[in-house]
Amino acid sequence: MVSYKELGLVNTREMFAKAVKGGYAIPAFNFNTMEQMQAIVQAAVETKSPVIMQVSKGARNYANATILRYMAQGAVEYAKELGCANPQIVLHLDHGDTFELCKDCIDMGFSSVMIDGSSLPYEENIALAKKVVDYAHQYDVTVEAELGVLAGVEDEVSSAVSHYTKPEEVIDFSQRTGCDSLAISIGTSHGAYKFTPAQCTRDPKTGKLVPPPLAFDILHEIEKKLPGFPIVLHGSSSVPQDEVDTINQYGGKLPDAVGIPEEQLREASKSAVCKINIDSDSRLAMTAAIRKYLAENPSHFDPRQYLKPARENMKKMYIHKIVNVLGSNDKL
Ligand SMILES: [Zn+2]
């Protein structure tokens, strides 16, 4: 058993309380590789932002659970080396689907876990979340639970259809589970194809797809029922058109990829939404830079040559999100 406190990590409690009060949101960036980790830490340090580094079950399968945990420990030390005296870094499990997985992460030094029982019947979701909360709180680890179902594919989590969170359930759910934050479904979605072209309208000027707006009425109803309670949005990549264009220009094939417009996320950040999950945008930034580099330098084969611009491009994207969308800069 390793406590996250020994690793210099923090849980989300104080971070979320400040974010809700201050009208901004904490970035939750997924990571699988060293380059992503470096880019996240560099961006957070340069902007003086707290940050949540999150690991999905797929990331644990890809990179190895032990390695990722030590990378998070390394992230804290790296932030200090870059001149940040008191980094506020959370190591969070994204979409934990069993009690055992959550327990395993808590025991190896995670400071926060998500238990996603959103696909279960309501009472089973409560029972599972409560079991995780009861264990996690013994070690001062914070727990995110989810009500409502997001559409789309994220690693091993997928659903064809979304079900918006029912505001009438949130008080009962949060009280009975004791969760520290609640992920809700108001129209965000996992992956780079958040909406089908049929769900969108076309901007007559640009010809680009415009997705349906988020259900802010549901968000505001939930806020009224749970004043000040931390709300989480999953699937909140914006799928930047320039990155998609670069990928397609250099041999990729991502037709009609659609994300959540940044203006809407900016608006959500000012509400009780205090954690916004971004994964696909990092994947796109990395892939766009690598495709471009390799197309322009066909004779190069040292991975450092193409991973360096990939890292730079991700860092630029993370800084943009922190400063221009979430507003979590200058909060350390
Ligand atoms: Zn998610």
pLDDT in tens, 26-54: 999 999 999 999 999 999 999 999 999 99
Going from the Cα of 154 to the center of ligand 1, the distance in angstroms, rounded, reads 7
CA 81-35-244 angle, to 5 degrees, is 135
In a domain, 59, yes or no: yes
In a domain, 209, yes or no: no
Going from the Cα of 5 to the center of ligand 1, the distance in angstroms, rounded, reads 25
In a domain, 308, yes or no: no
Going from the Cα of 17 to the center of ligand 1, the distance in angstroms, rounded, reads 21
Active-site residue numbers?
A: 94
In a domain, 285, yes or no: no
Q: Which domain holds residue 20?
A: 4-189+225-237+262-279+315-326
| 189-190/273-278 β-pairing | unpaired
In a domain, 197, yes or no: no
318 sits in which H/E element: helix 303-320
| Residue 154: pLDDT band with limits 50, 70, 90 | low
Going from the Cα of 208 to the center of ligand 1, the distance in angstroms, rounded, reads 25
The predicted-structure confidence for 98-122, as pLDDT tens digits, reads as follows: 999 999 999 999 999 999 999 999 9
| Residue 138: pLDDT band with limits 50, 70, 90 | very high
Query: Cα dihedral sign for 298, 300, 302, 303?
Result: negative
In a domain, 145, yes or no: yes
CATH code where residue 80 lies: 3.20.20.70
Number of compact structural domains in the chain: 1
In a domain, 40, yes or no: yes
Q: Which residues contact 297 (CB under 8 A, 6 or more apart)?
A: 305, 306
